[in-house]
Chain A
Amino acid sequence: MTSFKRISSRLLPSVLLLSGALWGGARQITIELPGKPKLEFQKGDALLIAPFLLIPAEKAEEDKTARKAEGELRSFLMKMLSRSELFSVKESQGVPLPSGNMEKLRNAASYWKTLAGQYACTHVVSGVLDFHIQDRSGYETEEYISPYNGQTYTRQVLVEKSGVTLELLLWVFAGSDGSLKSEENFKHFLEKKGRNQDFITAFFEGVHAFEEGLQRVFLSKPESQKRFFYAF
């Protein structure tokens, strides 16, 4: 090998390496972009929080709790949606629902249109709330070590538990024609020890579990996205 070839064979990789370092490569960086809600709102839109249809409970006591929960859900939505700078929020007062049938209510376009007109709103928020308390008490098998002979036995013990099922079907209707713009379903189950629980507290635990999903429907949240960025 001549000295020229020797020098050039050593030089070329170094030059290529250097140019690579100088030119740099692309790496992925994360940028924060304003997230888009599922429903698009315009500045100046107004949302009306209408009553929610309650799935009737078997016991009168449960029914009372469910009614209270419905009122709490509406005030929760009021508070959450009032954070938006795009739209204003109103709450309907003493408006009866035209039907107790879910399907009929969903398709009652003229009712939703009239209701939106009454309150001068562009959208109506309503839906179906199913709040049930179940007694889930029962016998459970547990291990027991005898203090007399140290042997392990199994025994049946009564465990008192209450289950709270919270299901929310959320509808958003267009005020202009009463058509259904969005339908979202949220479900949460909570098990509590003991029989006599504060079920409204349990209800709020359930509603807070829905908070993120509800926000995604109405409010914009920042979202992270990856982009290639050249380093020099």
Chain B
Amino acid sequence: MKSAFRAIGLLMLFALPACRSAGPIREAREQAHMGARAAKFHLYVEAYFRFKKAAALDPADARYLNNLAVLAESQGRFDEAKALYARALALDPKNSKIKSNDDKLQAYLKPAAPKRPAP
């Protein structure tokens, strides 16, 4: 009986943060879920809208900003994508995936070096 109470206590310990953040964070997750589904079907405008909502609801999650940046890139809004990657990296500087995306965008935006003609 005593151990059963302990188990319930343990479950509550896990559930507590979820309960505390149930409102906007759960809603952000739902929006992100719908955004990811929309992106899967190449509905990038819809996906962008969903991730924008998710990022507004949970501004501390770098992954929403990363996805938003990828979607901005796919729509040709490179300045916005650059700013979003910077914000995402400020939140999660060790995230190698966001860093990789940012590096690829920087490389893409870098003007091609002028080719030296053969002597």
Contact = CB atoms under 8 A, between A and B. Distances in A.
Interface of A: 2-4, 7-8, 11, 15, 22, 24, 26, 29, 31-34, 36, 38, 40, 106, 180-183, 225-232
Nearest to A2: B3
Given A227-B104, A229-B67, A230-B67, A4 B6 contact: yes
B87 interface: no
Contact of B100 (A29, A33, A228): A228
Interface residues of B, number: 34
12 contacts: A3-B7, A4-B2, A22-B29, A32-B74, A33-B108, A182-B115, A182-B117, A227-B73, A229-B39, A229-B66, A229-B67, A230-B63
Interface string B4-20: 10110011001000000
A3 B64 CA distance: 40
Contacts of A36: 112
| Majority SS at the chain B contact face | helix
B111 A40 contact: yes
A63 B11 CA distance: 89
Contacts of B39: 29, 229
Interface of B: 2-4, 6-7, 10-11, 14, 29, 32-33, 35-36, 39, 63-64, 66-67, 70, 73-74, 76, 97-98, 100-101, 104, 108, 111-112, 114-115, 117-118
Contacts of B11: 11
Contacts of A227: 70, 73, 101, 104
Nearest to A19: B14
B36 A231 contact: yes
A230 B7 contact: no
A29 B3 contact: no
Contact of A230 (B66, B108, B111): B66
A33 B78 CA distance: 10
Contacts of B35: 232
Contacts of A33: 73-74, 76, 108
**Which of A2, A36, A230: most chain B Cβ within 10 A?**
A230
Given A36-B112, A40-B111, A183-B118, A3 B66 contact: no
